[in-house]
C-alpha cells in the first residue's frame, strides 16, 4: 500500500535494511549470541516500508539510516526472542518481524517473571486500549491537521 508513494525508497530501504541485517548477524556472532541469518521477506517489507516513511520525513539520508537501523533490529530482536520462545516450548525457533518479536519478548518475559496470569492481564489491557476509543461518541480533533506536504509548504512560505 505504501510502496506506490516512493518506489525508489522501497528499494533503497530494502537494500539498507539487508545490509543492516548482515552487520547485525556479524555483531551477534561477535557477541556469542545465536546467529540470525537475514531473511529477504522481512527485510523487504519492513525495510521497504520504513524506507518510504523515512524518505518522506528525512530524505535520502533518513531513508538509508532508518532502514539500516531497522535491519539491525531485525537481527537482534529475533535473537532476543529465542529464550522466551524456549520457555514456551518452541526451542530454537523464532520469527523475524518487529511486531511479533517485540510483543513476544514482552509477553515471554512477563510469563517467565510473573506467570500465566500476567499474559491474560496484558491481553486484557490491550483489548481495553483497542475498544476504549469506541466508547466516546464525540471526538474533537485538536491541533494542526494539515498534511506533511501542507506543513512543509507553509513553513517555506514563512
Is 0.75 topped by the overall pTM?
Answer: no
- Alpha helices (runs of H) in 31-143, residue ranges in sequence order: 40-42, 48-87, 98-114, 116-131
Q: Which residues contact 88 (CB under 8 A, 6 or more apart)?
A: 108, 111
3-class DSSP state of 137: coil
Q: Which residues contact 100 (CB under 8 A, 6 or more apart)?
A: 81
Give the pLDDT band (50/70/90) at residue 146: low
- Segment 41-87, tens digit of pLDDT: 999 999 999 999 999 888 899 999 999 999 999 999 988 888 877 76
Burial category of 157 from C-beta neighbours within 10 Å (exposed 0-12, middle 13-18, buried 19 and up): exposed
Rounded-to-integer distance, Cα 8 and Cα 55, Å: 9
- pLDDT tens, 91-128? 777 877 888 888 888 888 888 888 889 889 998 999 99
Instruction: State the residue for C-alpha cell 521497504.
Output: 48
Highest mean pLDDT pick, 11-15, 134-138, 144-148: 11-15
Domain that holds residue 9: 3-157
How many structural domains is the chain composed of? 1
Assigned C-alpha cell, 36:
540470525
Evaluate if residue 148 carries a pLDDT over 70: no
pLDDT at 140: 63
Amino acid at each position: 500500500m505504501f510502496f506506490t508513494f516512493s518506489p525508489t525508497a522501497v528499494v533503497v530501504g530494502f537494500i539498507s535494511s539487508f545490509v543492516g541485517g548482515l552487520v547485525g548477524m556479524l555483531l551477534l556472532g561477535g557477541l556469542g549470541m545465536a546467529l540470525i541469518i537475514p531473511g529477504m521477506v522481512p527485510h523487504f517489507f519492513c525495510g521497504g516500508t520504513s524506507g518510504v516513511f523515512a524518505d518522506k520525513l528525512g530524505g535520502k539520508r533518513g531513508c538509508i539510516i532508518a532502514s539500516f537501523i531497522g535491519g539491525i533490529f531485525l537481527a537482534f530482536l529475533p535473537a532476543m526472542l529465542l529464550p522466551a520462545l524456549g520457555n514456551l516450548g518452541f526451542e530454537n525457533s523464532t520469527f523475524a518481524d518487529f511486531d511479533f518479536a517485540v510483543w513476544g519478548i514482552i509477553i515471554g518475559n512477563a510469563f517467565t517473571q510473573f506467570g500465566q496470569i500476567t499474559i491474560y492481564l496484558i491481553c486484557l489491557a490491550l483489548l481495553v486500549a483497542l475498544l476504549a476509543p469506541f466508547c466516546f461518541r464525540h471526538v474533537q480533533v485538536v491541533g494542526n491537521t494539515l498534511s506533511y506536504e501542507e506543513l512543509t509548504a507553509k513553513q517555506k512560505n514563512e
